[in-house]
Amino acid sequence: MDQINGIILVNKPKDWTSQDVLSKLKRYFHVDKIGHAGTLDPLATGLLVVLLGTSTKLSDYLLSDEKEYECEILIGKATDTEDITGTVLAEKEVENIENIDEILQGLVGTLEQEPPMYSSVRYQGRKLYELAREGLTVERNKRTIEVRQINRISDLQYENKTCKFKFNASVSKGTYIRTLCVEIGLRTGNPALMSNLKRIKSGKFHLENAYDLNDILNGKYEILSNYSAIEDKENIVQINDFLYNRVLHGMKIRVDSNYDSIYLVHNNELVGIYEKDQSYNDSNKSYKAKRVWN
């Protein structure tokens, strides 16, 4: 069987880890390499961009793509995991929240966010969630994230002394929506957690084009090309046959571009990602190979 390379859009089921999905698809497609363009918590559902074979070389670039989510927040409780699955740490009766839309709009822009202890961020070689399961809490470096847009998409529902509603948010790489929910709660003066999450967009890919895992395992799916992931980028350079032959061998090339990194396309196929060669001072026209597909 020929090696399968490409991108497949998966609608991740609830209570599955992203690694569960990858393991299942790796066996099904018989590929040596498999990866993704951004993980999802077991609680979360929605779009998981899976990379097969040599398409895993795109992982670092697609991870930086903007993500869009539909989230349900529960205000009135806090847990150690910052979501509904954790151990309750605090509770407070919530009766009325009047300014929630103003609070949400106040989050738009750049924020400093501390990764939760229950996350896969590494600390001294170990994942934070491993330490958290041992009852340990360590100091985490804050990261700068950006909330591009956030809007409430449901009414506020008051029940069992709590308040819940849904919102839609577009955020930058590295944003923890769980932690964003905690921040929303803090700005209302209450504990809060994430009670549900669905990813609806990753880069240019949409959930509406994703396939359920069972459908894929029954042969219903589409494998997308690498080019489909980057076709809307501004830093694409179309190359001729001469440059294509140089790129196939990872050789340096000269192209007229002002970007630090460029996607090289030949006959509607992504064939390389190149970056400026800083060792030359020639108006930034010299580029060297970063990733090559041959």
Q: Tell me the C-alpha distance between 172 and 147, whole Å.
A: 7
Exposure string of 97-136, with b = 16+ CB inside 10 Å and e = fewer, is beebeebbeebeeebebebbbbbebebeeeebeebbeeee
**What distance lies between CA 286 and its chain's CA centroid?**
31
Other Cβ atoms closer than 10 A to 74: 24
Q: Tell me the C-alpha distance between 126 and 132, whole Å.
A: 11
41 is catalytic: yes
Contacts for 281 with CB less than 8 Å, ≥ 6 apart: none
Catalytic pick among 2, 15, 20, 41: 41
Q: Which amino acid is at 136?
A: L
Exposure string of 183-195, with b = 16+ CB inside 10 Å and e = fewer, is bbbebbebbbbbb
Nearest partner of 92 among 202, 4, 190, 197, judged by Cα:
190
Catalytic residues: 41
